[in-house]
Amino acid sequence: MIKLSLASDHAGYEVKEELKKYLISKGFHIEDMGTFSSESCDYPDYIKEAAKKVALGECDFGIGVCGSGVGVSIAANKIKGIRAALAYNEEIAKLSRRHNNANFLALGARFLSVDDAKKIVDAWLSAEFEGGRHQRRVEKIKQIENLGE
């Protein structure tokens, strides 16, 4: 069973909740890292926890939702081992997995319908990393990530 960590801020709360129900109905195990209401909050607090679950291997993939998706992608990418991709359509979602081996998906709730978000998540989760020349590039990303050590 694939384990997913989910997180959002207040702007992404409703989309996250709909995605959670949808993904559970499809047989995914969900770790919901919050937020748990539509009250104003700070997305880094929740995205950090969801991304850590993926980086530590406790979840296979993560999905974060905020108003634009930009904040989620920036925050998640600060966690070593995370390759977060902001996807706004199915093709970008597929490419982020196929070419970048993205392990965290960022979505912008203010720019997507719930149905579109579901389609993007389906496309992302069904895509496979192609490896080959793309593996070399992912390795170079890991080298950049290790510059601070």
pLDDT band at 22 (very low <50, low <70, confident <90, very high): very high
Mean pLDDT, range 76-86, rounded to an integer: 97
| pLDDT for 18 beyond 80 | yes
Mean pLDDT, range 2-18, rounded to an integer: 98
| pLDDT for 110 beyond 80 | yes
| pLDDT for 123 beyond 80 | yes
Give the active site residue among 10, 41, 99, 134. Answer: 99
Six-digit token string for 40: 């104003």
41 is annotated as an active-site residue = no
Q: What is the pLDDT of residue 145?
A: 87
Assessment of whether the complete model's pTM goes beyond 0.85: yes
29 is annotated as an active-site residue = no
Query: Going by DSSP bridges, is the β-strand pair 3-8/29-32 parallel, antiparallel, or unpaired?
Result: parallel
Report the alpha-carbon distance of residue 104 to residue 102 in Å, rounded: 6
Cα 15 to Cα 23, 65, 106, distances in angstroms: 12, 7, 12
Give the active site residue among 29, 41, 59, 66. Answer: 66
Cα 47 to Cα 44, 73, 78, 79, 115, distances in angstroms: 5, 9, 10, 10, 22
Cα 134 to Cα 49, 73, 131, distances in angstroms: 28, 20, 5
Mean pLDDT, range 93-121, rounded to an integer: 98
Six-digit token string for 97: 């997995």
| pLDDT for 149 beyond 70 | no
* Domains of the chain, earliest start first: 3-148 (3.40.1400.10)
Mean pLDDT (the chain, rounded): 96
| pLDDT for 148 beyond 70 | no
Cα 30 to Cα 74, 116, 146, distances in angstroms: 22, 20, 30
Q: What is the pLDDT of residue 146?
A: 83
